[in-house]
Structure 1
């Protein structure tokens, strides 16, 4: 029997991160003033600008997906990843993007690599109607090894105060809709890399079930859901949204649940991509761990009134999305289950 792998065994301890952040909350909140609208734990920080308008800001990184890009010397898609990830993180608050800033840190600056990364960011910014307004390029030998780099982004968007999505409208009976991803997005790569590298499968190997090489399948860009979802936000059809990033279903959907409800996700109600089946089989990974680490083919979750579910799914499909009814909201105490 194959040895079972986990995110923690691969070097990422989600529980430790949650514990550390909970201990740091008092320090963070000591800086808050009356213009801060949302609490710690939201996908973005909301700041009241007056006149009924708010800004929403969020920061994230590409993570160890960069190791795949560096391994096969392909760097344009990770630029798209960071922009789209950040766009989605403020979209779930009901916001549209205004501008984006990046941080690129490396051991030794390689001009072509930097240009490729920036070209990817610029492409995604154009597609999302946002401005790549600035950033920082830091060359730090001794901090990063030669050939390695880190990529982080910060996005600022806007939303009307009365239209901020916080999850307060979520009620028992609401429907849960999943929108399809094209791959791992930007999360779970430490575990995925551990699986494939432990099996000595090169990233340049063509995998028939993936219809491409392993490396290119893993580098499939993180998608932006702005164009298909924002119109639904504007029409008031969505009660809450969750971007399925680090923490998978369990640690992301719970962020938008009120204390008196649970979210029940039904296995088999959506298409699980071949890359996730391959990771689970090769790594002998438990189902719960898979759904806590990876998006499993669902890039974003929408919680909507049950009588609006068909309308929302239809709209998403007309926009070119793969969308499914994947669960429902029940009475409970702020838990997510995958059954």
Structure 2
């Protein structure tokens, strides 16, 4: 039967080998609350200590994938950092609500299971979990030759954190006069790659070429993993220095920051307060896009925005400096004008 299954495109032995190769990688991310290991029907994580810390504990979860950035990674045969992107897209979301990270699970759907490739992918996921303070407690690898061709795969995952209901960050805490602190992104992150790929195709770009203004081949700049902000931001969350946070993903600064601002206030942003990285300027030129198009799709060099009371700005900046996180004071919150977010 195993031979017939292999002839159908599913290799059970390769799956077992892949699991064996990633066990130590996964184990290295886990804290003392992880119960058992890989192999059970469900992953177990103790909440005894976590719940004891909060008066009104709430679990915060986020799920996501990495979109069509995967296609560039597959075409370039580079699989060691795409897992970082996966974790970042989920972990940065729960961080934006002030969650203390607990654990992460991933899912890999693939056309033909290659243990070496799986090890590279999961190594990236584990790296991302370490950067996010998450325990990688389980996941799934599904070999599906009828859905994916041999070289294709897809990734998804979810992160779970915990917080006190009364202390979670959000728009309800924001006040007029609050200061907006933008944290530098590490590149395009994991949004807008359908447009990136169209630009590459239409402009007939060679992703392996180092274009003027770049210090590396274009593919290296595009596949730079999404920045994880946990270590830079968590000290300020724990010290109650932040009112609200926006993780800048699809929709750009305006769409995402509007989710972190109440209906009666406006976030005014001064785009002269930071320099848009060359990669975005090049994509805009190659794609013949105007600034409004870029603002709607890309992060434009700002991967997260912190909404901070004026009296606590210095303390937040000190924490960011301590973690070598580049930041910019990009604006302020004022009484509502026409829109939730104005970029001038």
- For the aligned pair, the TM-score class normalised by the smaller chain equals 0.7 to 0.9
**Secondary structure class of the residue paired with 1:251:** helix
- Select the structure of larger CA radius of gyration: 2
Match for residue 292 of structure 1? Answer: 296
Distance 1:319 1:51 in 2: 30
Tell me by how many angstroms 1:208 deviates: 4.2
Distance 2:263 2:133 in 1: 36
Match for residue 205 of structure 1? Answer: 209
Distance 1:155 1:222 in 2: 16
Match for residue 69 of structure 1? Answer: 73
93, 100, 122: which one pairs with 2:97? 93
Conserved in 2, the CA contact under 8 Å of 1:237 and 1:312? Answer: yes
Match for residue 338 of structure 1? Answer: 343
**Secondary structure class of the residue paired with 2:304:** strand
Distance 2:115 2:269 in 1: 46
Distance 1:334 1:111 in 2: 51
Aligned pairs, number: 291
Pick closer, same or farther for the CA change 1:289–1:234 going to 2, 3 Å: same
Conserved in 1, the CA contact under 8 Å of 2:55 and 2:164? Answer: no
Tell me by how many angstroms 1:249 deviates: 0.9
Q: Deviations along 1:101-131, whole A, 9 cap, x unmatched?
A: 0111122222222111001111221233321
Conserved in 1, the CA contact under 8 Å of 2:131 and 2:231? Answer: no
| TM-score, with structure 1 as normaliser | 0.83
Match for residue 123 of structure 2? Answer: 119
Match for residue 307 of structure 1? Answer: 311
**Secondary structure class of the residue paired with 1:258:** coil
Conserved in 2, the CA contact under 8 Å of 1:258 and 1:334? Answer: no
**Secondary structure class of the residue paired with 2:271:** coil
**Secondary structure class of the residue paired with 2:213:** helix
Tell me by how many angstroms 1:141 deviates: 2.1
Pick closer, same or farther for the CA change 1:168–1:136 going to 2, 3 Å: same
Distance 2:250 2:142 in 1: 26
Tell me by how many angstroms 1:288 deviates: 1.3
Distance 1:166 1:197 in 2: 40
Tell me by how many angstroms 1:337 deviates: 1.6
Match for residue 285 of structure 2? Answer: 281
Tell me by how many angstroms 1:275 deviates: 0.6
Match for residue 62 of structure 2? Answer: 58
Conserved in 2, the CA contact under 8 Å of 1:72 and 1:203? Answer: no
Q: Deviations along 1:7-66, whole A, 9 cap, x unmatched?
A: xxxxxxxxxxxxxxxxxxxxxxxxxxxxxxxxxxxxxxxxxx895111111001011111
Distance 1:125 1:204 in 2: 29
Distance 1:198 1:111 in 2: 35
Q: Deviations along 1:239-281, whole A, 9 cap, x unmatched?
A: 1000001111121001111110111111121121111010011
Match for residue 159 of structure 1? Answer: 163
Measured on the aligned residues, the alpha-carbon RMSD in Å equals 1.5
**Secondary structure class of the residue paired with 1:135:** strand
